[in-house]
Amino acid sequence: MRNGERESSYTAYLKGIESSRSSLLILRYCEVDMILINMGNVAYGVRYKRHGIPQIAHVTKEIIVSSGVISSPLLLMKSGIGPRTQLTKGGIPTKVDSIGVGQNLHNHGGVTLLFSVNNPKLELLPKVEKRAFEEDLGRYHDSIWRHGFFARVDFGPQAFIVSGRAKGEGEANHPDLQIIYRLKPLLGDGQLEIQLHVIITRMKSVGSVGFNSTSHFEGEEDDTKLAIIDDKLFTDSTDVDVLIEGIKLAIKIMEETTPFQAMKLSYNENPPELCKSLPPRSDEAHGGDMQNGKRAGPHGCFGFETEVPFFTSYTNKQRTTLLTAQKIYRVKGVKKLRVVDASALPRTPNSGIFAATLMLAEKTVQEIFKEHVSEMTPPAVIPQPQQLEPSL
Ligand SMILES: Cc1cc2nc3c(=O)[nH]c(=O)nc-3n(C[C@H](O)[C@H](O)[C@H](O)COP(=O)(O)OP(=O)(O)OC[C@H]3O[C@@H](n4cnc5c(N)ncnc54)[C@H](O)[C@@H]3O)c2cc1C
> Could you give the 3-state DSSP secondary structure of residue 142?
coil
The reply to whether ligand 1 has any atom less than 6 angstroms from the CB of 75 is yes
Name beta bridge partners: 367: none
Look up residue 160 and give its DSSP letter.
E
pLDDT in tens, 338-361: 988 888 877 778 888 888 889 989
Domains of the chain, earliest start first: 9-104+313-378 (3.50.50.60), 109-205+231-306 (no CATH)
Q: Rounded distance, CA 357 to CA 363, Å?
A: 10
* Contacts for 137 with CB less than 8 Å, ≥ 6 apart: 150
Q: Atom of ligand 1 at shortest distance to CA of 74?
A: 41
Pairing of strands 63-65, 53-58: unpaired
Contact 197, 182 (CB under 8 A): yes
Look up residue 319 and give its DSSP letter.
S
Q: Rounded distance, CA 38 to CA 334, Å?
A: 9
> What is the residue with the minimal CA distance to atom 9 of ligand 1?
352
Global pTM reads: 0.85
Pairing of strands 96-97, 81-82: parallel
The residue with greater pLDDT, 166 or 231, is 166
The reply to whether ligand 1 has any atom less than 6 angstroms from the CB of 354 is yes
Residue 312 has what pLDDT?
A: 47
Residue 348 has what pLDDT?
A: 79
Contact 35, 93 (CB under 8 A): no
Average pLDDT over residues 126-148: 77
Residue 387 has what pLDDT?
A: 38
Residue 322, pLDDT > 70, answer no
Residue 103 has what pLDDT?
A: 83
Main-chain phi, psi angles of 338, to 5 degrees: -130, 155
The residue with greater pLDDT, 136 or 177, is 177
Q: Which of 20-29, 120-129, 184-193, 361-370 has the highest mean predicted lDDT (pLDDT)?
A: 20-29
Residue 173 has what pLDDT?
A: 95
The reply to whether ligand 1 has any atom less than 6 angstroms from the CB of 31 is yes
For residues 134, 137, 138, 139, the Cα torsion angle rounded to the nearest 10 degrees is 130
The reply to whether ligand 1 has any atom less than 6 angstroms from the CB of 90 is no
Distance 223 CA to ligand 1 centre (A): 14
Residue 139, pLDDT > 50, answer yes
Residue 375 pLDDT class (50, 70, 90 cuts): low
pLDDT in tens, 103-136: 888 888 888 888 888 886 766 666 777 777 788 8
Beta strands in 104-226 (DSSP E): 105-106, 109-117, 127-128, 155-161, 177-184, 186-187, 192-200, 208-211
Average pLDDT over residues 319-342: 70
pLDDT in tens, 91-106: 999 999 988 888 888 8
Residue 352 has what pLDDT?
A: 80
In this structure, the number of other CB atoms found within 10 A of the CB of residue 209 comes to 25
The reply to whether ligand 1 has any atom less than 6 angstroms from the CB of 198 is no
Q: Atom of ligand 1 at shortest distance to CA of 361?
A: 25
The reply to whether ligand 1 has any atom less than 6 angstroms from the CB of 309 is yes
Average pLDDT over residues 59-66: 93
The residue with greater pLDDT, 193 or 301, is 193
